[in-house]
Amino acid sequence: MSYGFASNLHEALPNKSFIGFTGTPSPYTALVAFTDVVKDAKDGQEYTEAKMNGFPEAATGDRFEGDEYRFLIVASKFQTGTEEKDE
């Protein structure tokens, strides 16, 4: 039996794919994108996209365009595809 956020995320989203991280430091920050609320079964704490990213959900797409972010972890959100802005 395992505990922690990763375990809770697997329990909350059992049919989704997940990426494993090695713990190697990175200069980049990951963003998350998902709909609804994920509730931690152990302590009842609720996680939202805005709470985990630290800014409003509507800003996720624009923030991902910035230099700080290189990883977008998505669960049932941007499933229809997006187009990159031409520069």
Q: Within a domain: residue 83?
A: no
Instruction: Name the more confident of 43 and 6.
Output: 43
- Is the pLDDT score of 69 beyond 90? no
Joined together, the tokens standing for residue 79 give 């499933």
pLDDT tens-digit readout, 13-41: 666 555 565 666 677 788 888 888 888 88
DSSP labels, 25-63: --SSEEEEEESS-EEPTTT--EE-HHHHHTS-GGGHHHH
Global pTM exceeds 0.85: no
Q: Within a domain: residue 85?
A: no
Q: Within a domain: residue 39?
A: yes
Q: Within a domain: residue 67?
A: yes
Q: Within a domain: residue 31?
A: yes
Domain that holds residue 68: 5-19+27-75
* Domain total of the chain: 1
